[in-house]
């Protein structure tokens, strides 16, 4: 199978280039990550992140034939050759397919991604109805792979000012949690021409999410809550 992979090592390359590889696959190679590891066995200098190899840790996000995804759950049979692999767009490249995710995590941290409830907790669990718990479905499952935020033109242009789809999805995860008491502060934190309102519902985020989540919908719900509290 033929691949064309983005290469850049700041210690020796003046600028990035694409390197072609051809690799013989084995019967057991099902996913893109399997093929990349065959390439890495031939060329140990190829840099990428990887860990769980089942789509739950979010390490191996990359741009695959023009679309962001996780290599470990992208079936090889669906890919057109040569398979073109690039680092996630919009973030500084450290080396090869490895990007600097500092800005992405900075935005995640900026939404206060933890439950806020200053009442003393009961001796047992806080109660929550199954219906209220269901509101968190489609939100808490995010693996922070950054496929969504790095496919969003608004995030490319203003990664320091626009929170981005991944972190906004998490902002809504806490707004939607009946156990969280900080909705008003959370909305204040996002009421800004950039932080939330740079989302122009282009919907690339929902289109690429490897976990099938829909950040655009969550962003819409945050906007609704803002409108609601104004009237």
Partner 1 sequence: MALSRQIFDTVIVGGGGSGLRAALQLAEAGHHVAVFSKVFPTRSHTVAAQGGIGASLGNMQEDHWLWHMYDTIKGSDYLGDQDAIEFMCRKAAEVVYELEHFGMPFDRNPDGTIYQRPFGGHSQNFGERPVQRACAAADRTGHAMLHTLYQRNVRAHCQFFVEWMALDLIRDYEGVVVGIVALEMETGEVVIFQAKSTILATGGAGRIYHSSTNAFINTGDGLGMAARAGVPLEDMEFWQFHPTGVAGAGVLITEGVRGEGGILLNSEGERFMERYAPTMKDLASRDVVSRGIDQEIKEGRGVGPEKDHVLLKLDHLGAEVINKRLPGIREIALKFANVDPIREPIPVVPTCHYQMGGIPTNYYGQVVAPRGALGSSEVIPGLYAIGECACVSVHGANRLGTNSLLDLLVFGKSAGDHLCQWLKSNPQHRDLPHDAADRSMERLSRLDSAQSGENITEVAQAMRRTVQHHAGVFRTGPLLREGVEKIREVAQRARNTAIKDKSRVFNTARIEALELENLVIVAEATLVAAEARTESRGAQAREDFKDRDDKNWLKHSLWYLEGSRLDYKPVNLQPLTVESFEPKVRVY
Residues within the interface to partner 1 (CB under 8 A): 9-12, 28, 30, 40-41, 44-59, 73, 75, 94-96, 98, 101, 105, 109, 112-115, 117, 121, 123-130, 132-133, 136, 140-141, 143-144, 174, 177, 179-180
Minimal distance in Å, beta carbon 67 to partner 1?
Answer: 17
3-class DSSP assignment, residue 231: coil
Q: In Å, how far from its chain's centre is CA 89?
A: 12
Q: Which is nearer to partner 1, 112 or 221 (CB)?
A: 112
C-alpha neighbours within 13 Å on the C-beta side of residue 182: 17
Minimal distance in Å, beta carbon 227 to partner 1?
Answer: 26
CB 149 within 8 A of CB 164: yes
Minimal distance in Å, beta carbon 105 to partner 1?
Answer: 7
Q: Which is nearer to partner 1, 18 or 115 (CB)?
A: 115
Q: Which is nearer to partner 1, 83 or 146 (CB)?
A: 146
* C-alpha distance from residue 5 to each of 21, 62, 100, 113 (Å): 8, 11, 18, 35
Q: Which is nearer to partner 1, 143 or 199 (CB)?
A: 143
Q: Which is nearer to partner 1, 127 or 230 (CB)?
A: 127
Minimal distance in Å, beta carbon 47 to partner 1?
Answer: 5
Question: 115-122: long-range contacts at Cβ-Cβ below 8 A with a sequence spacing of 24 or more?
Answer: 115/174, 115/177, 115/179, 115/180, 116/174, 116/180, 116/181, 116/182, 116/185, 117/179, 117/180, 117/181, 118/181, 119/181
Minimal distance in Å, beta carbon 136 to partner 1?
Answer: 5
Q: Which is nearer to partner 1, 2 or 126 (CB)?
A: 126
Minimal distance in Å, beta carbon 190 to partner 1?
Answer: 18
Task: Write out the two tokens for 187.
Answer: 């909305």
Region at 61 (left for phi over 0; alpha for psi -120 to 50; beta for the rest): beta
């Amino acid at each position: 199978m033929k691949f064309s992979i983005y290469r850049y090592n700041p210690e020796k390359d003046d600028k990035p280039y694409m390197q072609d590889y051809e690799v013989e696959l084995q019967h057991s190679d099902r996913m893109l990550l399997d093929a990349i590891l065959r390439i890495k066995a031939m060329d140990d200098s190829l840099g990428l992140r990887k860990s769980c190899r089942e789509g739950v840790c979010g390490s191996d996000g990359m741009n695959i034939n023009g679309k962001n995804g996780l290599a470990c759950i992208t079936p090889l049979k669906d890919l057109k050759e040569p398979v073109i692999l690039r680092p996630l767009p919009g973030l500084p490249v450290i080396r090869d397919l490895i990007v600097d995710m500092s800005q992405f995590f900075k935005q995640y941290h900026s939404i206060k991604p933890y439950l806020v409830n200053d009442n003393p907790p009961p001796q047992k669990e806080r109660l929550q109805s199954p219906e209220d718990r269901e509101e968190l479905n489609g939100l808490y499952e995010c693996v922070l792979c950054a496929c969504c935020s790095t496919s969003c033109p608004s995030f490319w242009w203003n990664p320091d000012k626009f929170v981005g789809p991944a972190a906004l999805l998490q902002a809504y995860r806490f707004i939607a949690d009946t156990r969280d008491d900080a909705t008003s502060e959370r909305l204040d934190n996002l009421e800004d021409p950039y932080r939330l309102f740079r989302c122009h519902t282009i919907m690339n985020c929902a289109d690429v999410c490897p976990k099938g989540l829909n950040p655009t919908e969550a962003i819409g719900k945050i906007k609704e809550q803002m409108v609601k509290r104004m009237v």
